[in-house]
Amino acid sequence: MRNKRAIIGTVLSVLMLVTCMAQPVFATGDDESALEELQRKESEVEQKETETQEALSKAQEKVEKVTQAVKELDEKIGKVEETIFQLDADIEENLALLEKTKAELETAKETEAIWYEKLKLRLKAVYESGQTSYLEVLLQAENMSELFSKAEYSKDLAAYDREIMENLGAARLEVEAKEKEVSDEEAVLEENRAQQEEKKAELQEVKDEKSEELKSLQEDADALALYVEQLQAEREELASEIAETAARIEAERKRQEEEARRKAAEEEEARRKKAEEEARRQAEEEEAARQAAEAAEAEEEDTEEEYYESESEDYDDTEEEDSYDDYDSGSYDGGGLYWPVPGYSHLTTYFGEADAIYGLPHRGIDVAAPGGTPIVAAESGTVITAGWNGSYGNYIAISHGAGVVTLYAHCCVLYVSYGDYVSAGQTIAGVGTTGDSTGNHLHFEVQVNGGLANPLSYTSP
């Protein structure tokens, strides 16, 4: 809340247009400043909470995506492991076949050895029988393959010898085929297994990277979630402080309202007692005058004319009228009163009309004007009331002397206090709609010797 008193001293006209409200305004000092600061902090915390919640949502989305990626990698690794498991089973099966093939290979080698022994015996027989030419051909072979070749194409090879060589060659081919079959099968299986192991290693590496990324993202998300909780706790604490401060402000407002009502009641009681005292004094003066007149009448025994002359000298039966004349030309320094709302002349209710709320004869005039419009003193005088009344709202009463009092009601703000002396035309308040009011206006009354008078008899726009 703005510091109204500080602003009044520098920009009075702007204040009256901006700060006037429909109800009485009570300053509560530090509490209101604290409330504004708490509300500002609460707004900042709410903004941070919103931003952090958005960041948390994005972080959780990333966590979900990476978690899904890790899950898919797990599935792929599982499939590769299944393939490797199947390859291992195939290798185990191949090992069994290999063992069988090796057994067959051994048998083939044994068969080859048997035929080779038969060949050696045959060569020995050839040698012993003197078939040197045939033997020389065979002996010139540098190795087994060349031996087979020379023996196969030898023109001198006998049918039995050829059978030996054919069986030996077949056994040799079978051995070579078995060896190649086993070797090829082992190579294929080992290559496939190596490929799958490599693929598994690659997938595992990607999974490990994703797992690290997931761990980091989860830590970020956990940190954001913790921050959100802290912000929520801070916001709740601020809301509690705001509620407590608002309650203090409301309590202070009610206290000030009660104080204003009490002060107004005291002032009203003081005015009542003063009026009673004035009435008592006037009654005493009238009684003294009456007694003096009676005494003068008793002493006057001359003629009737002398009696009346004596009475005229000692008692003036127009004393009340003379007292009213004091207002016109006596101790009342003013003449015509200032118009209390300069620049605004539209009257919504005239003196004596039925008012809009209670339907009773109106005690003054109502001048319509925007909220905050300056209200000026109709004449110089002393402020005898400045406070709150249930019907009048914020109001001021000024005594101008000689029993003349002006009253200004429904103000939105008061700029003078009880006991202040004001000059004619001085700004004393701002137009408002406090108390029993249906809109922004000034209720203006003129009282003369405790009685109501039509303000338009003393002033005009």
- Cβ–Cβ < 8 Å for 411, 21: no
Spatial neighbors of 180 by CB under 8 A, at least 6 apart, are none
- Cβ–Cβ < 8 Å for 340, 412: no
Domain with CATH 2.70.70.10 in the chain: 337-461
- Cβ–Cβ < 8 Å for 351, 364: yes
Q: Rounded to the nearest 10 degrees, how much is the dihedral formed by the CA atoms of 166, 167, 172, 173?
A: 70
Place of tokens 């089973």: 89
Give the pLDDT of residue 96: 81
- The CATH architecture assigned to 337-461 reads Distorted Sandwich (2.70)
Helix axes 159-299, 30-129, angle to 10 degrees: 180
Give the pLDDT of residue 442: 98
13/18 Cα distance (integer angstroms): 9
- For 1, the 3-state DSSP assignment is coil
- pTM for the whole structure: 0.33
- Cβ–Cβ < 8 Å for 436, 391: yes
- Cβ–Cβ < 8 Å for 26, 253: yes
276/400 Cα distance (integer angstroms): 19
197/176 Cα distance (integer angstroms): 31
Phi, psi of 263, deg, nearest 5: -65, -40
Phi, psi of 394, deg, nearest 5: -75, 125
Domain with CATH 1.10.287.2610 in the chain: 20-273
Give the pLDDT of residue 112: 78
Domain boundaries 20-273, corresponding CATH code: 1.10.287.2610
The rounded average pLDDT for each run of 10 residues, N- to C-terminus, in the chain (461 residues) is: 44 40 50 88 91 91 91 90 86 79 81 80 68 59 63 57 76 81 84 90 91 91 91 91 90 90 90 86 76 61 40 34 33 72 96 89 96 97 96 97 96 97 97 95 97 96 91
What are the residues facing 443 on neighbouring strands?
A: 366, 409
User: Which of 361, 380, 351, 354 minimizes the C-alpha distance to 460?
Assistant: 351
User: What is the DSSP secondary-structure string of 172-226?
Assistant: HHHHHHHHHHHHHHHHHHHHHHHHHHHHHHHHHHHHHHHHHHHHHHHHHHHHHHH
Give the pLDDT of residue 316: 36
Spatial neighbors of 70 by CB under 8 A, at least 6 apart, are 207, 210, 211, 214
User: What is the DSSP secondary-structure string of 334-401?
Assistant: -SSPPPSSTT---EEE-TTSBPTTT-PBPSSEEEE--TT-EEE-SS-EEEEEEEEETTTEEEEEEEEE
